[in-house]
Chains A and B, each alone.
Chain A
Amino acid sequence: EAGVAQSPRYKIIEKRQSVAFWCNPISGHATLYWYQQILGQGPKLLIQFQNNGVVDDSQLPKDRFSAERLKGVDSTLKIQPAKLEDSAVYLCASSLDQTGNTGELFFGEGSRLTVL
């Protein structure tokens, strides 16, 4: 079974530029998450989708970050304009969550962003 796919793996941009990350979850997984992981810290939830609806985006900096999950499958996370403090690894994860409880999260390899 294919895992969570993310691209690009690495991206270097200058501040005030824009960037987009793509994620394709495991087939059949209803819930999709975007986490931001700054070096030396734990993953921080940015947004959580259930199918194509947003469950939680309370920690998403909405003035610069946006995310969508069209048709309840793959998802795109965009940053515009980027700031130096956005340098981090952006992890996408998916879970089956058939019971309504949060189950095992399957993480992708992440997209490492460096903002200069």
Chain B
Amino acid sequence: QQPVQSPQAVILREGEDAVINCSSSKALYSVHWYRQKHGEAPVFLMILLKGGEQKGHEKISASFNEKKQQSSLYLTASQLSYSGTYFCGTELGDRRQLTFGSGTQLTVLP
């Protein structure tokens, strides 16, 4: 069951904020976030386990709403280096298979 990401693409100016959403129709065990720059391998950002905890890394944080089976990635005060495609990966409650969404392309302009 592939998670659904929104929006598909977003363009913002340096210093602006962005939110990327990831949702599933099935009960989730965990949500993983990765960023992939053009022509490069995906790079790990963070993992959230069920329980609604929010994690953060500098100006990038994420939340996991277990009741809604949704996760949101928050990018505050965007930097040029944040540009890339963001993928959420989800694991269902009964199996440990990481399934990625189709991605959200983020472009940060100067």
Within 8 A of A (CB), among B29-43: 30, 32, 34, 40-43
Size band of the interface chain A makes with B: 20 to 34
Residue in B closest to A110 when the chains form the complex, CB atoms? B41
B64 interface contact, C-beta 8 A: no
Scan A28-57; emit 1 where CB is below 8 A from any B CB, else 0.
000001010000111111001000000110
Q: Is there contact, CB below 8 Å, between B96 and A101?
A: yes
B100 to chain A, nearest CB (A): 4
A108 interface contact, C-beta 8 A: yes
Scan B93-110; emit 1 where CB is below 8 A from any A CB, else 0.
001111111110000000
Q: Is there contact, CB below 8 Å, between A101 and B42?
A: no
Q: Is there contact, CB below 8 Å, between A42 and B41?
A: no
Binding site for B on A (CB under 8 A): 33, 35, 40-45, 48, 55-56, 58, 91, 100-110
